[in-house]
Amino acid sequence: MKGLGFDIGSYEVKSIVFDFEKNKVIYFDKVKTKGFQKGKITKKLDLKETVEKIVFNFENNLETRFEKAIIGFASPEFTVKKQKEFVMLNQETVREEDLGKFLGYSKKGNFLANREIVEFFPLTYFIDQIEVQDPIGKRGNRLDVEFLLIDGPSFLLQEINDIFSSYFSSFKIKFSSLASAYFYTTEKDKDIGTLFFDFGHETSTLVLFSEGKCLEVKILPIGSFSLTKDLASALRINIEDAEYLKTRYGSFGSKKISKKEKIQSELGDFSLKEISRILELRYEDILKEIEKFLKETNFHKKLPGGILISGGGAKIGNIVSFTKEKTKRYVKKILPNEFFDSDQDYCEFSNLIAMLNLERNSFEKFTFLDKIKKFLGF
């Protein structure tokens, strides 16, 4: 069984084909994005052209067509809400319809007319104030459910639907960062207290776990592209050249770089120490936002699992050691290399791998949640 996934970003649209039996990526591609900036579609036809190019590439390379795909992206336009609802059971057995009632009410009653739910994640179930893993079939007076709802602008989701319906008969839109957070954190990570940090191009997503569940999610409107813009401004070069310098030569830890170390290239001569310091200044702003988030959630003094860093921004050199130094916490970088046949840094594909694997698992392990989604018409 094989799965196809897309990750829509402001800088690149990435795609992989994953072989579930081999547990390997058998094809991957990335194309510079057109028509999608800051989590919004700026030119629908341009974005469609980008997607069409990727579809053409994998169909020709693999000589096959896919009817189904998983579409993931994160946007500053997304909002994450944590809610708790209840239904009275009156000693009746809990049915799927009972869950559908309050989730359905949430879908209709708690969102503006111009927004739609992207995904929902049940977190905790209680029957008569006693926590249960799966409430179906259990009896009680009252069922309480705590869950996360991720919603986005209706027009944005509709345009994404319009583009991908031209190529696939069936597809699902996912909040890519949250999929990664659930996939790459272990049960121990989720239990002891861990922050998952998806360092994206224009957004960064923070997902906090403790006591076995997701407690909070926050989307920051800042990512690695902010570092690129600072580099372009300080060195007086264009954005494309700044992105090249960042990905090819950029690293943190300027204190350990000699002033004599230079880059000699077609773009000119640049100081590695200066490049590093420019990148550090903006990244430190992101780390301050992370500390602010941890203080708001009362986890600034207790985070045994530390910080797990993922996403394309994590490719910047020495990110782990620099983050450790500044936050005084345990830090680990997520590397999905086990799913590839080479030792390169493929962290920009981590979200895609997570989404596809969770989609496979959803059919094998989480049919209970699938039934709820089907009942609600997701």
Q: Where are the domains of the chain?
A: 2-76+156-177+351-358, 79-154+367-376
Phi and psi for 124 in degrees, rounded to 5? Answer: -145, 140
Token pair for residue 244? 């090249």
Any idea which residue has 């049915």 for tokens? 95
Q: What single-letter DSSP state applies at residue 64? A: -
Q: Which residues of 198-234 are buried (b: 16+ CB within 10 A; e: fewer)?
A: bbbbbbbbbbbbbeeebbbbbbbebbbbbbbebbbee
Please give the CATH number for the structural domain made up of 79-154+367-376. 3.30.1490.110
Could you list the mean pLDDT of each consecutive 10-residue stretch along the chain, which spans 378 residues?
90 92 93 90 95 93 88 87 82 74 55 77 87 87 87 92 92 91 95 96 94 91 95 94 93 93 85 96 97 95 95 95 96 94 89 91 44 49
Please give the CATH number for the structural domain made up of 2-76+156-177+351-358. 3.30.420.40
How much is the pLDDT for 91?
79
Nearest to 275, CA basis, from 237, 321, 312, 223: 237
Quote the pTM value.
0.87
